Amino acid sequence: MRKTILIVDDVAFVRKTLAAILLENGFDVIGEAASGTDAIEQFQRLKPDVVTMDIVMPKMSGIEATRKILKNHPDAKIVMVSAMGQETLVMESVHAGAKDYILKPFSADEVLKTLRHCTGEAVPHHGRNEKEQKIG
Per-residue pLDDT, 131? 35
CA distance to 3, 38, 86, 91, 104, per residue, from 47 (Å)? 11, 13, 28, 25, 26
pLDDT one-digit tens code per residue, 35-92: 999 999 999 999 999 999 999 998 899 999 999 999 999 999 999 999 888 889 999 9
The size of the chain, in residues, is 136
**Half-sphere exposure in the Cβ direction for 54 (13 Å, CA):** 27
In total, how many domains does the chain have?
A: 1
Q: Check if the beta carbon of residue 5 is closer than 8 Å to that of residue 115.
A: yes
pLDDT number for residue 87: 86
pLDDT value, residue 134? 47
Does 76 fall in a domain? Answer: yes
43: in domain:
yes
Provide the CATH number for the domain around residue 43: 3.40.50.2300
- Domain holding 80, by residue range, is 4-118
Burial of 131 (0-12, 13-18, 19+ CB in 10 A): exposed
For residue 14, tell me if it sits in a domain.
yes
